[in-house]
Structure 1
Amino acid sequence: MTKLIYITHPSVEIVPNIRIDTWQLSEEGQKAAKRLSKLNFYKNVRLVYSSREPKAIETAQILSEKYHFKIKSYKELNELNRSSTGFILPDEYIKAIQYVYQYPDRSFQGWEKLDKSYERNTEVLQEIIKKHVGDLIIIIGHGQSGTLIKCWIKKIKPSWAEDPKTTGCYFIADLNTNKILQDWTKY
């Protein structure tokens, strides 16, 4: 069985005046990543895939310190590019994310279109799957990217209903049967 564990980074240090894609884990996020390392996922894992964003790489590095696996990062696993607006308040952010799910072929105020993010995330996932048939694949990324991958696995349209709506979660999927074995779970 080819199995995927998709892990979202935990909470970040929000710094409104710097680029979102450079944010790092908060102190609580670092503690959450250490809790994540106690889960029994990593036996015999030699390689973990990650987004290139610092919050995802930092999560992977905390796990690698304990389990000594290699980390391969792909920019295609980065989250939806929202650099045109930078930080927006949480209530506004929720409305914006709901908008991009509802209108995946449109840009919200200059953001990357969800369709484009879906395409790049699922294309790199398919490359990874080809390299690891019958293996456990672990990817560390972002809630929105994970939602797109989860919906691709389930062969459904990406939607807000499938989004974890928080950081620090994971889901597990059987890629041979396209079944979600465990839905988003907080760690």
Structure 2
Amino acid sequence: MTWCVYLTHPEVEIDPDVPIQEWRLSEIGRDRAALAADLPFAKDFQRIVSSGEVKAVETAEIVGGHLELKPLVMKALHENDRSATGYLAREEFERTADQFFANPDGSIRGWERAIDAQMRIVTGIRAVLRSVKEEDPVLFTGHGAVGTLLMCHLMGTPISRAHDQKRGGSWYRFDKDWLTSQSGSSLAWTEL
């Protein structure tokens, strides 16, 4: 059975003048991304698949460089679309993110709806897993919000920020079969 790890990008250089999708990892973020190559099961990865956003690609390239794997970029794995608001200061972002998770059927301030982002990430992950051998472990590098939406789907629970990561550069492991069974199994984020 294929098992997978979903890893979020760690710390980034926040620049309000740069589109969020183009933010790069900070020096701390780069150091923390390298820690993923030291996870006890990392040597088993056969494929790394990344969101197309710069910070996720950089995370995938750092881990892939240590493991001698070239990442595949899949644009559909991007973070929830927040382009309607662009950069928001921390407190305002957190309030808006709370609303995003609390009202998954509605567009909050023009953001992509949580249910749509969840369907997109689940569909994207399924598409990748259809193309891998049954026994090949896959590392996905991406983002916190859609990673949480995927986690909620895998556990068969309603969308909730209660399942959100506490810090970027966190990961969880899941089995390919969970995508279809919605197993009800519990998952939890682990920080690098």
Which protein has the bigger strand share? Answer: 1
In structure 2, the partner of 1:166 is 167
In structure 2, the partner of 1:183 is 188
Q: What's the C-alpha RMSD, in Å, of the aligned pairs? A: 1.6
Deviations 1:67-109, CA, capped at 9 Å, x for gaps: 1112111111100111111111111111111101111121121
Paired residue type of 2:69: F
Superposition map of 1:7-18 within 5 A: 7-18=7-18
TM-fit CA distance, 1:46: 3.1
Deviations 1:125-179, CA, capped at 9 Å, x for gaps: 1112222333312100001111111111111112100111320100011333536
TM-fit CA distance, 1:181: 7.1
Paired residue type of 1:58: E
TM-score relative to the length of structure 1? 0.93
Kept in 2: contact 1:173–1:181 (CA 8 A): no
Query: In structure 2, how many angstroms separate the alpha carbons of the residues matched to 1:41 and 1:181?
Result: 20
Kept in 2: contact 1:172–1:181 (CA 8 A): no
In structure 2, the partner of 1:69 is 69
Kept in 1: contact 2:46–2:138 (CA 8 A): no
Query: In structure 1, how many angstroms separate the alpha carbons of the residues matched to 2:143 and 2:112?
Result: 15
Query: In structure 1, how many angstroms separate the alpha carbons of the residues matched to 2:136 and 2:45?
Result: 9
Q: Any idea what SS the aligned residue of 1:183 has?
A: coil
Kept in 1: contact 2:47–2:137 (CA 8 A): no
TM-fit CA distance, 1:16: 0.9
Superposition map of 1:69-148 within 5 A: 69-132=69-132, 133-148=134-149
Shifted more, 48-57 versus 38-47: the winner is 38-47
Q: Any idea what SS the aligned residue of 2:146 has?
A: helix
Query: In structure 1, how many angstroms separate the alpha carbons of the residues matched to 2:49 and 2:184?
Result: 21
TM-score relative to the length of structure 2? 0.90
Query: In structure 1, how many angstroms separate the alpha carbons of the residues matched to 2:102 and 2:177?
Result: 29
TM-fit CA distance, 1:184: 0.2
Q: Any idea what SS the aligned residue of 1:93 has?
A: helix
CA 1:156 to 1:41, structure 2 compared with 1: closer, same or farther past 3 Å?
same
Q: Between Structure 1 and Structure 2, how many residues are aligned?
A: 187
Deviations 1:17-53, CA, capped at 9 Å, x for gaps: 1111110001110111122222223224332111000
Query: In structure 1, how many angstroms separate the alpha carbons of the residues matched to 2:69 and 2:36?
Result: 15
Amino-acid identity (%)? 33
Q: Any idea what SS the aligned residue of 2:120 has?
A: helix
In structure 1, the partner of 2:3 is 3
